[in-house]
Structure 1
Amino acid sequence: MSGYDFRSLSSYDFELLVRDLLQAELNISLQTFKPGRDGGVDIKGYTDHKKSIIVQCKHYVNSKFSSLYKVMKDDEVGNIAQLKPSQYYLVTSLPLNPLDKEKIFKLAPAEFSTTERIIDSNGVNNLLNKYPDIERRHFKLWLSSINILETILHSAIHNRSNARIRAINEKIKYYVTNENYYKASEILDKNHYLILSGIAGIGKSTLAEILVYQHLQAGFEFVEISENIEEAWTLFKPDVSQVFYYDDFLGKTSIADKLGKNEDKSILTFINEISQLKNKRFILTTREHLLQQARMQYQRLADKSLNIATCIVELGHYTKVIKAKILYNHLYFSDIPESFKLELIKGKTYKTIIEHANFNPRIIESMVNSVNLSDLSAQNYPAAFIKNLDHPYEIWHYAFNNQILTPSRYLLALLLTARENILLNELQELFLSSSKFNVRDFRNAIKELDGGFIKTIRDHRLPDELIIRFHNPSIVDFLNGHIHETHEFLDDLLMGAQSFQQLIRLWGNHFMEAGYIRKAILFNPANFIDALERLALFVKREGNITFWSSFDQRLLHLASVYLATKQERVKSLILAVSSKLHEHVTDFRELIIFLAHISENKIFDAEQYNVIWNNIKVAIVEESHNTPSIRAFTDVKDMVQTFQTAFAPEELEQLRFEFVAYDDYKTEFSKMNISRELESYFYLVKEVAEFWDVPVPYEEEFNSKMRFLQGEETKRDDRDYDELKHHRNEERYENLQSEGEIDNMFSADSFRID
């Protein structure tokens, strides 16, 4: 039984719902008049005998009967008398008792003819029960309902993600169905995975969260990935319906440190696995330019099959009508004073906003947040709105420079250099590395920034720790631009840096086009190189901060720094770091790229180049001998294949021997319970064996286990796994054809929530 309170619907949404229900109930066609000064008409139609039917909708979710009665008595009775309909209906989201209905009926007994034409919230719910197809079409109604939310929250498999789920539920009321939703849904249904890509703030995460929530409602388990794809493999349950969500899987502004060793390979392996299973979904988001960078840097991510399932969320997909609804929903449900909304309406500023070239849901969201408008008057609100569209980061600029103290500003700049999801105590240690600030400054800064610039989150994996994140990705974009223009805190960040990884984050993705902060660094690179010298050989230290980059990553970035600065000190650092390669290498592909760049650009003379190359060869042997694994052997094979003539025969024989002597293949693949994972693993084993021209180890055991797993998976697929059916609104929001209709939507009455 439906029991909605309709709070997630705007006045306009409520009218569309009532129209659809009465069309079904009365078996006639009804026309909706858009919200505004309707003169007593919200919905109108005609009977077979051409007698007029008028429906008045009153979406009074926060009001009392006395308010509804007063409006009906003072305003609507006169309208009814002028319109003289054959049938008149009043539909309200308020619950009414029989005495309430009788009192309203007496205002216009001839037009109502019966109290049955006074339909309250209970009556609307009864109609929804009678016409469940209409209920399903209005997905915003049922998806955001308290019943659905409570069902999800009380499910044992979700109880560690309640805060996240509630946050998604809160977003639903703002969402406007558009072509992106239908396209993404179809791709996800067909492929079981989806990559949402687009510019910052366009709505990738919101669309992804809507899709996640729909799957939660259908009984899927929610798995949110925050660090790397290994989290997904760890939580993978073959017999459980699961939806995996990986937001910003290539990072928020740069891919410099996001993809760890073979992360691209692991992601593709996971995608391949998901695509074969009916009870799994995988949703990823990334900014479009980062996806293009990743495709250039990581060949596996350039796989043409990925293009099939890439849903590009482009601003061009937002029609004028969709933009109008996005703005309308955000204003309708916002907590800003009514006077601010009226100012947008008076001068028709809403038209300028809808038509603005920089229209972006994230900017709209920030400009209807009362926290960001504390220093604005209602009269100045329209001009400030347009200014922030003209200069998208202006809203953060004002708050950063005028509303927060210096320690808070420094903390935000520092957070740019920190790893994603940094723990509170780690961030405090970084903060205190500057002699300018103390513990009290840190605590006050966290309090000042929390909820505005940053958000603090408790992770179920670390229940006693707080995770710190930027509240909004656009803050990162603003800070990059701000430091580029002003150089504020740049020297402090360089002198206070505690890890090489922090410097990498400031420098950006090695050989890609220079970012904002890199340009600021290049204005006077001496301090940056000082910091590089201090941290280039740093591995670990006492305290909480243990994140650091591998030496192969350092070489790649140092080569980039040298090519940009031509500083001899950087060449010395490259030689020194190469001597440490035997201690830690994560990805020999990075070394292949590094060698290509130093050779092509003739950075070193022959003697220096040989020193670096010998250091790399030592690292290769160490990798094979000390940390043997199929991934290590694959990396070694790739390196030898690329530079085979540089290896002496005895060196090649040593590497071949390490592969043949390794005897843990059977142990490794015996732990695998998914055929695609096993297939990927053994493909690598076979590839390396063929390269060294040796027999494939344990081939018979592998084939036997593969047959067993494939048989088990076929049985699972034959079980009763129903495909998730998205109940989409077949009557997609009708287009508003004229300027006048959009004007009606943005009338003074249209934002009233009584």
Structure 2
Amino acid sequence: MTSPDYDFKDLSPYDFEVLIRDLLSVHEGLPFSTYRIGPDGGIDLKARKDGLLHIAQCKHTPDASRAKLKSLAAEEREKLSRSESSIERYIFVTSADITPGTEEELRADFAGCAASVEVHGRGWLNALLALHPKMERRHFKLWLKSSVAIKEMVAGGVFFRGQSRARRIEQNYFRFVHHEACERADKALESTGVVLLIGSPGAGKTAVAEYLILQWWRRGYRVIVDPRTVDNWWEWLEDDIPTVFFFDDAWGQTRLHDHATSHHDKDFAEFLTSIQEKNASVNGSASRGKVAVVTSRSQVLHDTRRFSDATRMLLEHMPDSVVAVERLTSEVKSRILFNHVNLAVVDECARRELANGDWWRSVSAHQNYSPRIIELVTARRHFASGHQLVKELHDALDDPQQVWQTSFNTFSSLEQLLLCTLAVSDSQGVKRERLTARLHDYSPTEFWNAIGRLVGTWIERSFVSGYDVFTLADPSQRDFLMGLIAREPLVCLDLIKHADSFDDLKIMCDRGRAPELEYQPSLFSLENDSLRASMDECAQSLLIAMRRMWDRRLEGVNVVPRGVLTLPTGVFVDLFSTFTEMVVYHADRYAGKEVGDLALDGWFELNMSRLMGLLRDTDPGSFHESMDAVQQIYHTFRNVTRFREFTAPWSYHIEALRGAIREVWGTWDAEDLRVFGPGEYWTGLVDVLIESTYLFENLGFHEAAASVFHLEALDEELGSRIEDDPGGSNWVQTLDDLEVLLDQALPESRRVLRSHRLLYEDDPDPIEDEVASPRGIETNEQVERDVSTGAIEALFRSLGNPLADGEGAQSNGG
């Protein structure tokens, strides 16, 4: 990096003042404090050392002449003459480029005001920035000038999801307000290499994440935003290029798994763990090669922890990486509001209206206040008056749905269907081919006309691995659309009729899951966005569509001549998993609905018979392959039945599915023993038993387990593995699970655990509450302090000042 040479013109007066505060504090080792904007009695910054007063006055006058500076100095000298305080040191700082002669003249003008007087200009500030590069990185408005830096990021090989991330950073960096969560996030990323920002929708998680991204890009790190494929994650992790990974809404925008695959949480947990392990072996954060910035909505993370063992374990092991972005102080809320209003409103009359009164107090204190609402309203930029802006802000806060409702109502039926289709689809993007397949009723010309109208406002278009990919531009649009679909059964019915595959229906069924699973404080405190009520109204159409697609899948399998070619394991697993999901969707969601002749019993018996008839033609090929296949089947079964209670007659079907999984295991298990012989077979079986005890337990192998396994050999093998790697797994929990399954003690394994102080004689059974909150996940209640509103009042009063070159000032807060 070259030595800094900034003119500071892109900073607001408040930005400049806070920059001086931070530079003086770090350079002098004194905690300088800022005070209200406006009449200040000659004091912008103050500190005390050994009881003596140090004062600084900041003048953001980058183009000021010598005469102007002397005039300003005379004004400040007059203010100081009225002060009764004894000042040890007085520092006059200007952003102007001053000569040595001007510096001496100004120092002479302040003679007698303090025991020591200093005058500093632009050159001194740049010299301090060179000495303290961390301050330069933190005050990114210094170097992130207009679109130049953004274009440099893109040209430098930065990976963006289309150009949406670049545009967002470019548009929002002047609106950014630094606050306490930024400091905590910075510290977490420095110390652990991973930061997880959690909070409610619209709380400002992404803004904090983008702030961190800019800091690390400034250090020379490559930035990779929302990488789509797991393979690329590991490729980038292992290369030698310093990299910051950014995963926005990592586990989904509104619910767990509303993007990626059901295995995303496992892959993601492993990836973040690998980053932390790499950083654990590095001494000093300056040497970190890879770091990750992750955001997640609180309710999505709650669901993820409940449904994903991998994510729950990850969070338990990274409590220092979790940072809550929840409550903003009233001061920060007001500064965010000011920054958006100041940049959006350029009409002088409207600005003067906004400079009067205290309308900003009620907006900042509104119970539905969200930076996103402020952004969405002020982005319209069509305000005829200040009163109109204030009214639209209050209307949006009182009824957040209308932020998008007015725009949505102007669209054609195709455009509305297209948006609703994206809302229930992959939040990481949908390929054009998938969209056109679902919208086959419309011509290509109609499709592209709709895309053309929506791209840039409602839809983002990007190109990924040669594919045209579309996604909703803003998470709050998805929230609005899901609320609409939840309230309007006809919209839900239209989506069902346009489904092209079982997966299209599956994601809708997942969103209509049982209410006891819901944890839905949705965006802007709107009503629950579960599709359950709407889908219940469309039950018959839904079941007909699901069964039609199931028959289509079976027909595709049956084109392969049985007895000539064996059925691939993956095909059978897919069929069994799909059938399991369909049975649960029938039983759990639509049991109480009138569905004509679509009763579950007959359909279940027929298709269970058809499915199990394919079992004998499926060849898993090896013991481990058969075990993996059964685990995949059971993983689906466990996910869709977990936390649910099924009453008769539905409990019969659920138990029949469990029995079918045992039959699959028994069929392949016997074949593996015959093909591979006892030696290789038993070795593999012990591996699986230790690694996947829960599978045997939940499939009902309790009674047979003790007779199947050689207990002494198993005990010896487990003890050996603990001895080899005592810290590598939760061995206490594994041992406890095995003893419950086998209904027998494993004394050798317990002896090894005690030898490594992992278990004591008087230890209780290590049983944990499955849904207990891991450390660090609970929202930290930030105690909001009473702060003087003088500075905020002065900010909004400044809206009445004439604009310079069509631009207003921005309030950064640091």
TM-score scaled to structure 1, two decimals? 0.71
Give the corresponding residue for 2:473.
Answer: 471
How much has 1:283 moved relative to structure 2?
Answer: 3.0
Listed as ranges, the matches of 1:189-338 within 5 Å are 189-227=190-228, 231-237=232-238, 241-258=242-259, 260-278=261-279, 279=288, 280-303=290-313, 305-306=316-317, 308-309=319-320, 311-316=322-327, 318-334=328-344, 337=347
Give the corresponding residue for 2:661.
Answer: 616
Task: Tell me the SS of whatever aligns to 2:427.
Answer: coil
Output the CA distance in 2 between the equivalents of 1:51 and 1:597.
Answer: 64
Residue identity in the other structure for 1:529: L
Residue identity in the other structure for 1:349: W
Listed as ranges, the matches of 1:532-611 within 5 Å are 532-539=546-553, 550-563=578-591, 565=593, 567=595, 569=598, 571=600, 578=608, 579-580=610-611, 586-592=632-638, 600-604=646-650
Match of 2:795 among 720, 730, 745: 745
Instruction: Give the 3 Å change call, closer, same or farther, for CA 646–206 of structure 1 in structure 2.
Output: same
Give the corresponding residue for 1:144.
Answer: 144
Output the CA distance in 2 between the equivalents of 1:28 and 1:184.
Answer: 24
Output the CA distance in 1 between the equivalents of 2:45 and 2:659.
Answer: 84
Match of 2:428 among 421, 426, 433: 421
Listed as ranges, the matches of 1:342-491 within 5 Å are 342-369=352-379, 372-374=380-382, 377-402=385-410, 404-430=411-437, 432-433=439-440, 435=441, 437-459=442-464, 462=465, 464-487=466-489, 489-491=491-493
Task: Tell me the SS of whatever aligns to 1:255.
Answer: coil
Output one character per residue of 1:612-636: Cα deviation in whole Å (capped at 9) or x when no partner. 455434554688789x999996798
Listed as ranges, the matches of 1:679-694 within 5 Å are none
Structure 1 gaps of 5+ residues are 657-674, 693-733
Instruction: Give the 3 Å change call, closer, same or farther, for CA 533–309 of structure 1 in structure 2.
Output: farther
Give the corresponding residue for 1:717.
Answer: none
Residue identity in the other structure for 1:743: E
Output the CA distance in 2 between the equivalents of 1:405 and 1:347.
Answer: 42
Residue identity in the other structure for 1:387: D
Whether the 8 Å CA contact 2:14–2:37 is kept in 1: the answer is yes
Whether the 8 Å CA contact 2:221–2:243 is kept in 1: the answer is yes
Instruction: Give the 3 Å change call, closer, same or farther, for CA 302–684 of structure 1 in structure 2.
Output: closer
Output the CA distance in 2 between the equivalents of 1:528 and 1:643.
Answer: 30
Whether the 8 Å CA contact 2:196–2:296 is kept in 1: the answer is yes
Task: Tell me the SS of whatever aligns to 1:244.
Answer: strand
Output the CA distance in 2 between the equivalents of 1:632 and 1:259.
Answer: 30
How much has 1:445 moved relative to structure 2?
Answer: 1.8
Output the CA distance in 2 between the equivalents of 1:605 and 1:284.
Answer: 40
**Deviates further, 182-191 or 224-233:** 224-233
How much has 1:681 moved relative to structure 2?
Answer: 14
Task: Tell me the SS of whatever aligns to 1:249.
Answer: coil
Output the CA distance in 1 between the equivalents of 2:241 and 2:142.
Answer: 24
Instruction: Give the 3 Å change call, closer, same or farther, for CA 321–600 of structure 1 in structure 2.
Output: same
Task: Tell me the SS of whatever aligns to 1:455.
Answer: strand
Whether the 8 Å CA contact 1:536–1:577 is kept in 2: the answer is no
Output one character per residue of 1:558-604: Cα deviation in whole Å (capped at 9) or x when no partner. 44323464757262555566554868884513314556789842234
Whether the 8 Å CA contact 1:432–1:439 is kept in 2: the answer is no
Output the CA distance in 2 between the equivalents of 1:679 and 1:587.
Answer: 27
Output one character per residue of 1:44-97: Cα deviation in whole Å (capped at 9) or x when no partner. 88999x99999573467xxxx6xx78x969x9799689869799968357xx79
Listed as ranges, the matches of 1:491-502 within 5 Å are 491-502=493-504
Whether the 8 Å CA contact 2:248–2:294 is kept in 1: the answer is yes
Output the CA distance in 2 between the equivalents of 1:186 and 1:47.
Answer: 27
RMSD: 5.5
Residue identity in the other structure for 1:319: T
Task: Tell me the SS of whatever aligns to 1:277.
Answer: helix
Give the corresponding residue for 1:698.
Answer: none
Give the corresponding residue for 1:667.
Answer: none
Output the CA distance in 2 between the equivalents of 1:449 and 1:297.
Answer: 35
Output the CA distance in 2 between the equivalents of 1:381 and 1:541.
Answer: 59
Output the CA distance in 1 between the equivalents of 2:28 and 2:189.
Answer: 37
Output one character per residue of 1:464-483: Cα deviation in whole Å (capped at 9) or x when no partner. 43321211111111112223
Output the CA distance in 2 between the equivalents of 1:173 and 1:348.
Answer: 23
Match of 2:539 among 503, 508, 525: 525
Output the CA distance in 2 between the equivalents of 1:134 and 1:216.
Answer: 13
Whether the 8 Å CA contact 2:199–2:324 is kept in 1: the answer is yes
Instruction: Give the 3 Å change call, closer, same or farther, for CA 335–263 of structure 1 in structure 2.
Output: same
Instruction: Give the 3 Å change call, closer, same or farther, for CA 389–82 of structure 1 in structure 2.
Output: same
Instruction: Give the 3 Å change call, closer, same or farther, for CA 302–118 of structure 1 in structure 2.
Output: closer
How much has 1:195 moved relative to structure 2?
Answer: 2.4
Output the CA distance in 2 between the equivalents of 1:307 and 1:47.
Answer: 39
How much has 1:133 moved relative to structure 2?
Answer: 6.5
Count of aligned residue pairs for this structure pair: 662
How much has 1:302 moved relative to structure 2?
Answer: 3.3
Residue identity in the other structure for 1:144: L
Output the CA distance in 2 between the equivalents of 1:225 and 1:55.
Answer: 44
TM-score scaled to structure 2, two decimals? 0.66
Task: Tell me the SS of whatever aligns to 1:467.
Answer: strand
Whether the 8 Å CA contact 1:345–1:746 is kept in 2: the answer is yes
Output one character per residue of 1:464-506: Cα deviation in whole Å (capped at 9) or x when no partner. 4332121111111111222333445332211111122222333
Instruction: Give the 3 Å change call, closer, same or farther, for CA 594–405 of structure 1 in structure 2.
Output: closer
Output the CA distance in 2 between the equivalents of 1:160 and 1:45.
Answer: 43
Whether the 8 Å CA contact 2:137–2:218 is kept in 1: the answer is no
Residue identity in the other structure for 2:211: I
User: 2:696 aligned with 1:640, yes or no?
Assistant: yes
How much has 1:390 moved relative to structure 2?
Answer: 1.5
Give the corresponding residue for 1:91.
Answer: 94
Structure 2 gaps of 5+ residues are 83-89, 112-116, 280-287, 519-527, 557-570, 619-628, 673-680, 711-723, 743-783, 806-814
Task: Tell me the SS of whatever aligns to 2:201.
Answer: coil
